[in-house]
Amino acid sequence: MDYEKLTSVMRRLALDAGDKIMEIYNSDDFEVKSKSDESPVTAADEAADAIISAGLRAEFPDVALVTEEQSDSHNQSVDTFLIVDPLDGTKEFINRRGDFTVNIALVEAGVPTRGVVYAPAKDRMFYTLADGTTVEEMGPFAKEAAGETKAIKVADSDNSALMVVASKSHRDQATDDYINKYAVKDSKSAGSSLKFCLVATGEADLYPRLGRTMEWDTAAGQAVLHGAGGKVVVFDGHAPLQYGKEGFANPFFIAFAPAVDLKA
């Protein structure tokens, strides 16, 4: 894989998709439909998916592609592939809360190694460079070339005063019970894969997810977090979270800065 090319292509496609998403987001109204699993989907999800999928297939025709919005791509058995959630946080989008992202990632041998997470309504963009390290690009974002970037890394966490981030739309009692095992200084809620990015930048130490997610929800965020020195493990047993699983469904997991003393 040409990682320099991949970084450039993923970044550009995320921006293109973000423009289309914001065009629909800022319109007076948009249709909300339900998929077979009752989850919502909008014209923005579908338009962004079309942009990203076409771009990735044109640039990397020999790499398998898995994308949330194309159910026929979910039947593959692969451990190296590109994976896309064109609009992560659809509920946040529908409710005009801004915490939604464009997610594009490369998984190699079951591990997300490169990725981009772009939050167009918040003007924040995080991505891995060719060497696998992660940066945040400072806006405004030009299509032609990347602007100013800064390297990011996870916090050197203080286990007596942790910052925790949890899901805005899916927080429940089990999540709160787990968080209460820690000495928490403060907690915040965020939508979509922004939670991974907040751990990657050191704005949070810990993100537990005791709820349903799919690999396209997490791959880009995990790649960004890995590149900043963070880890993602399965909730039960703390084994590394792997990708290419049958059906692409995730178990519960914990994303964290390595200095955190993880609880069972």
pLDDT digits (tens, 9 = 90+) for 82-120: 999 999 988 888 888 889 999 999 999 999 999 999 999
Binding residues for Mg(2+) are 68, 85, 87-88, 217
pLDDT value at residue 183: 98
In the chain, where does the domain assigned CATH 3.40.190.80 lie? 162-256
Please tell me the CATH superfamily of domain 3-151, with its number: Fructose-1,6-Bisphosphatase, subunit A, domain 1 (3.30.540.10)
What gap in Å lies between CA 4 and CA 10, rounded to an integer?
10
Binding residues are 68, 85, 87-90, 217
pLDDT value at residue 38: 64
pLDDT value at residue 193: 94
pLDDT value at residue 169: 67
Query: Which residues of the chain, if any, have pLDDT below 50?
Result: none
DSSP result, 184-233: EEEEEEE-TTHHHHHHHTTS-SEEEE-S-EEHHHHHHHHHHHHHTT-EEE
Binding residues for substrate are 68, 87-90, 217
In the chain, where does the domain assigned CATH 3.30.540.10 lie? 3-151
Task: Write down the residue that tokens 């959630």 correspond to.
Answer: 85
Q: Are 105 and 241 in contact (CB under 8 A)?
A: no
Question: Coil, helix or strand for 6?
Answer: helix
Instruction: Say which CATH class 162-256 falls into.
Output: alpha beta
What gap in Å lies between CA 112 and CA 213, rounded to an integer?
15
